[in-house]
Amino acid sequence: MAQSELIVKEVPVADMLAAKLRREIDAKRFRPGDFVITERALARREGIDRNIVHKAVNALVREGRLERRPGKGVYVPGAVDGWRQAASTSRLVHVLVADLAANMCVEIARGIKQAGLSAGVRIQVHDAHGSLESDLQVLRKLPETAVHGAIIDSVHHPRFAEVLYELHAARYPFVLVDETLRDLQVPSVVADNYRGGYLAGRALMDRRHRRIAFTGFLGADTVRARLEGLRDAMAEAGVALDRSLVVPVRLEPVEILELPADQATEIERAVREILERPDRPTAIFFSTDLFMPQAYRAIRGLGLRIPDDVSVVGFDGDPLCRLLSPTLATVRQPAREMGKVAMEMLLALMDGRRDEGVVNRAARTPVAVRDGSKANGRGDAGTHGHGDAATRRDGETVAGRRVASMETEVPLAAANTTQRQDSAWHRVLPVTWQDGDSLGPAPDAVRDCTAKDTKATDGSREAAKGAKEIRMTDREMVGV
């Protein structure tokens, strides 16, 4: 084989194409803002695979010599102050948030904005709180717009998932926040919802609660993960979760984005269903802090006190719930950090650095294992560990104890292991427990302790009385 052939083969085809495009641009065949070509047309022109073309264009995008306009093709950046500056400042990112009335969504958006501004990215925010059809149309049209990429806060709806599949098929760069797709690998950022449910369960177990209710919208994977964490924390303490105490918040799928009108009625119904029973639970775990103001009113409307009659736990860490009386015990999600990480991932995706990953500033969640060891993503040093297998079916044992099977509307996670993996393109950020006055000891535990204290006090009084009688006898004996 000739030496020249060896040299040619040692140079990647993508690098050769990038060098060719670079020469064309440097020769000033294009002016700032000019259309260059589409990747598909370039692949046909050069007679090479489109993936190779994609890599070559990525190299020039990173240099700032080219910019992508999704659905339109490849352009020379419009500014003339420098290629790299032009590429970064011309980027436009669409951010869809589920509901800006929720602090969680606001914090995610703030994190996205902070990371985006430092990278010179322009951001436009769309609030999904409104017409579902309108929001889906906005997402579907993204590849046809001048928006370079999107960060999408999940609205947990079947039709919403369909649009994400369409965006993925169109190779449109986006990052999903607060949800993962089981059947499709897309860049995503979530909090460790399972771990949060487990921490809440441990806090309840430590306060001797044994009958615990759970309520929330079970159509969301994140909510089901919180329920699974609660269930496993209870099983570890030798307590089975009573499936009759798992009460779904029923929201019609078409109206899921229009929560306020139906939410109050549904929360009140769920609270009454849980508490208007002869064997009512001593605690309720609500899947989100958004429910809490109405939940407090519903509980008090039944003539019950928090936490004297029933303890309450939430999830999200909404600072407004610190204003409730009593203050809410909850699990705090790192919402702002989730937004920052999502923007970092999107920038890497738009730069073609999908395989390089991003800097992981948050603590990694260990990958779950199936051998029943404690290194399964649910326990770590200094916290309550968890020793059961990561995946189980209805009726199988957890931590050596048999667990009651749950209804089909509350499915056990058959893919917990993959859902909790933390990798470059699926990030799981740690949650923290935030104690509050809404969580007290179980009333039965208080009564037990009170009875024991009463018996101890009665015994002390009897002993003291006996001692006094003895002393009086002694005094009489000496004639005092």
Residue 407, pLDDT score: 34
More confident residue, 455 or 157: 157
Kindly list the distances between the CA atom of residue 389 and the CA atoms of 234, 337, 364, 401, in Å, as whole numbers in the listed order. 15, 30, 20, 12
Residue 150, pLDDT score: 94
Q: Could you tell me which residues are beta bridge partners of residue 122? A: 92
Residue 421, pLDDT score: 57
Q: What is the mean pLDDT of residues 28-37?
A: 74
Q: Is the dihedral of CA 312, 417, 404, 386 positive or negative?
A: negative
Residue 383, pLDDT score: 34
* 8 A C-beta contact, residue 279 and residue 211: yes
* 8 A C-beta contact, residue 332 and residue 107: no
Phi then psi for residue 53, to 5 deg, are -60, -40
- The token pair at 449 is 């302790």
Compute the distance between CA of residue 430 and CA of residue 14 in angstroms, rounded to an integer: 39
Compute the distance between CA of residue 77 and CA of residue 64 in angstroms, rounded to an integer: 7
State pLDDT tens for residues 398-408.
Answer: 333 333 333 33
* 8 A C-beta contact, residue 183 and residue 367: no
- The token pair at 130 is 């409104």
Q: What is the CATH number of domain 192-333+356-434?
A: 3.40.50.2300
Phi then psi for residue 262, to 5 deg, are -95, -20
Which of 18-32, 118-132, 375-389 is least confident? 375-389
Phi then psi for residue 87, to 5 deg, are -65, -40
> What is the band of 193 on the pLDDT scale with cuts at 50, 70, 90?
very high
**388 pLDDT more than 50:** no
Q: What is the mean pLDDT of residues 198-218?
A: 96
Q: Is the dihedral of CA 210, 211, 212, 217 positive or negative?
A: positive
Compute the distance between CA of residue 90 and CA of residue 119 in angstroms, rounded to an integer: 11
> What is the band of 72 on the pLDDT scale with cuts at 50, 70, 90?
confident
Kindly list the distances between the CA atom of residue 119 and the CA atoms of 87, 112, 122, 284, 441, in Å, as whole numbers in the listed order. 11, 11, 9, 43, 49
Residue 166, Cβ density class (10 Å: 0-12 exposed, 13-18 middle, ≥19 buried): middle
- The token pair at 309 is 């009659």
Residue carrying the six token digits 């104690």: 435
Q: Nearest Cα to 356, choosing from 421, 423, 424? A: 424
Residue carrying the six token digits 């806090």: 203
* 8 A C-beta contact, residue 115 and residue 340: yes
> What is the band of 90 on the pLDDT scale with cuts at 50, 70, 90?
low
More confident residue, 372 or 31: 31
Residue 360, pLDDT score: 38
> What is the band of 252 on the pLDDT scale with cuts at 50, 70, 90?
low
**33 pLDDT more than 80:** no
DSSP character at residue 109 = H
State pLDDT tens for residues 216-239.
Answer: 999 889 999 999 999 999 999 999
Residue carrying the six token digits 């208080």: 446
Compute the distance between CA of residue 236 and CA of residue 400 in angstroms, rounded to an integer: 8
Q: Give, to the nearest 10 degrees, the angle between helix 292-301 and helix 259-275.
A: 40
Q: Nearest Cα to 207, choosing from 442, 16, 387, 390? A: 442
State pLDDT tens for residues 328-341.
Answer: 999 999 999 999 99
Give the helix/strand (H/E) hosting 286.
strand 283-286
State pLDDT tens for residues 41-58.
Answer: 888 888 888 888 888 888
Compute the distance between CA of residue 384 and CA of residue 421 in angstroms, rounded to an integer: 20
Cis omega (within 30 of 0) on the bond before 319?
no
For the chain, how many helices (H) and strands (E)? 15, 17
The domain 12-78 having CATH identifier 1.10.10.10: the answer here is yes
- For residue 479, count other CB atoms closer than 10 A to its CB: 5
* 8 A C-beta contact, residue 379 and residue 388: no
DSSP 306-353: TTTT-EEE-SB--GGGGGSSSPPBEEE--HHHHHHHHHHHHHHHHTT-
> What is the band of 59 on the pLDDT scale with cuts at 50, 70, 90?
confident
Residue carrying the six token digits 């006898």: 473
Compute the distance between CA of residue 250 and CA of residue 243 in angstroms, rounded to an integer: 16
Q: What is the CATH number of domain 86-190?
A: 3.40.50.2300
User: Do the bridges between strand 330-332 and strand 432-434 make them parallel or antiparallel, or are there none, so unpaired?
Assistant: antiparallel
- For residue 57, count other CB atoms closer than 10 A to its CB: 25
Residue 207, pLDDT score: 96
**3-state DSSP call for residue 402?**
strand
- For residue 377, count other CB atoms closer than 10 A to its CB: 25
Compute the distance between CA of residue 60 and CA of residue 55 in angstroms, rounded to an integer: 9
**379 pLDDT more than 50:** no
